Structure 1
Amino acid sequence: MELAGQTALVTGANRGIGRRFVAELLARDVRKVYAGIRNPDAADQEMREHPRVELVRLDITDTDAVEAAAHRAEDVSVLINNAGISTSQPLLEADVDTVRREIETHVFGTLSMARAFAPALRAHQGAMANILSALSWFSYPGSGAYSAAKAAEWSLTNSLRLELAPAGVLVLGVHLGAADTDISAGYEGPKIDPTDVARFSLDGIENNQTEVLVDDWSRTVKAALSSEPNAVLTALAG
């Protein structure tokens, strides 16, 4: 797919990786970007005034809002499922509603978007990119809820790929360690520029890739999958 001339929708578009996706899509001459934001009033001035950006009030855990967005944006050919949360909670001690919130956002929120926009993507033989994580493949203390949600979202992505392939729709899974955004503010390890996530993901769409490993973290963890669970932690401790 050549992105120039396409119409895209980005969830979680007002900051972090989502905001970089909007900028990178515009730089690649897409026709329009629907910027999915929980509170459009929080969008920056540049986004609010850009002639090729249309703000859409969107919470991916609200099925009515998702359906309304899909009805409004029937011309979408590129869907970027970027919206997410991180509660930094373990599985056994955290309030179960907190764990459920992670699952609802990353799994059912992504599925809701995929179901609502599947007709448009099929009609345009488009593409979907799901922003996943290296934590789809391992866990560290305190990341249980997020890792479980991202592992499920990874499996969801693989299934969506199979179901949309007959219509010529590309489904891309994007994995990364940590990007320098608000969601990783409490993390003190290495962080990549969120612009790289957007750039490499869109390169993946244009090159018909099904998986993008953005950084060394994601590549290292993927390579360790054939060894014992969480082997990457053992290697780091050594």
Structure 2
Amino acid sequence: MSASIQKSVLITGCSDGGIGSALAETFLERGYHVFATLRNLSKVSSRLSAEAAKPKGNNNVTILQLDVLSPDSMAAAVASVKAATGDRGLDILVNNSGQAQILPALDTDIDEARKLFDLNFWAPLAMVQAFTPLLIEARGCLVNNASVSAYVPMPFSGTYGASKAALVLASNTWQRELAPLGIRTMTLITCGVKTKAFDSVEAPQLPTSSYYHAIRDYLAQLTDGRLQNDAMDAHRYARDVVRAVERGALGEVWVGQNAFASRMAWLLLPWSIIVSLS
């Protein structure tokens, strides 16, 4: 990919060890200029940091501080990308930032649940609104990272699953709304991927009055990362996603560990069996 036609991609949530960082490194390998964004700049990977530190004109990574819950931070990121790309716009926007939560519905703090929706649902919508003009200029691609949890009713992750289900429905709707503007939309139905995501998931603190207090140790174990023991490597996942982007995939793309089997199960199995397996 020559410099004159170099494509650009902005990815949210690029902390080291996560999906965003793996995607950033994979797009870099494919010759894109990568705008790697994250809320805490100290968490950027050494590889992305080293590329960004190269002399201007020889580097293919721009690291941006971006808090997707802050309109001012988002506006600053838009201005930075616009200044860097000029009238070329932005070729790909990847809404990757998000957070999991494991907690019984009856013990969920409603204000905390709203914060989860702010990050997993409202922030992607705000990013779409902010960056659409740049995507229109490039006739670009919007990629929203959802989750198989949107389809599988996993006990004790209902709020997280609901936030991702909302994103899936909205993203599929945005696909139809943005197509006349020249923007292609992909919705990633992400299955198991091995990352550091659970490092930031707090073990549930259940009051003694909770109906689930007796299984508090089991719930705590669900946050220690063991759910990812057999998951796909993040860089392999990233390569699958980038291939889908480059081949022009549209709509829902199931990717990650056992993605094909999960998709077939959802399409073919009765709901009662899906529930029993979750």
TM-score normalised to structure 2 length: 0.77
Question: Could you tell me which of 37, 50, 59 is aligned with 2:67?
Answer: 59
The one of 134, 138, 143 aligned to 2:152: 138
Q: Structure 2 vs 1, CA of residues 231 and 103 (structure 1 numbering), >3 Å: closer, same or farther?
A: farther
Structure 1 gaps of 5+ residues are none
CA displacement, residues 53-104 of structure 1 (integer Å, 9 cap, x when unaligned): 1111111111221122112112321111111101212333211122112211
Displacement of 1:212 in angstroms is 1.7
**Which of 219, 222, 227 matches 1:187?**
227
Deviating more after overlay: 84-93 vs 51-60: 84-93
Amino acid at match of 1:117: F
1:219 maps onto 2:260 in alignment: yes
What does residue range 2-151 of structure 1 map to in structure 2 within 5 Å?
Answer: 5-15=6-16, 16-30=18-32, 32-50=33-51, 51-74=59-82, 75=85, 76-151=90-165
1:112–1:132 distance in 2 versus 1, CA, 3 Å:
same
The percent identity for this pair of structures is: 26
Contact 1:66 1:116 in 2 (8 A): yes
Q: In the TM superposition, what is the alpha-carbon distance from 1:216 to its structure 2 partner?
A: 5.4
Q: Is the 8 A contact 1:174 1:214 kept in 2?
A: yes
CA shift for structure 1 position 227? 5.3
- Alignment equivalent of 1:206, drawn from 246, 251, 274: 246
SS at match of 1:200: helix
Amino acid at match of 1:37: L
Residue 80 of structure 1 aligns to a residue whose secondary structure is strand
**RMSD of equivalent CA atoms:** 1.9
Unpaired runs of at least 5, structure 2:
52-58, 199-224
User: Within 1, Cα distance between the matches of 2:49 and 2:157?
Assistant: 35
Return the letter of the residue paired with 1:167.
L
SS of structure 1 residue aligned to 2:106: coil
Partner of residue 206, structure 2 = none
What is the CA distance between 1:230 and its match in structure 2? 6.3
Deviations 1:167-221 (A, max 9, x none): 2211111112221111242425531111122111111111111222114544344
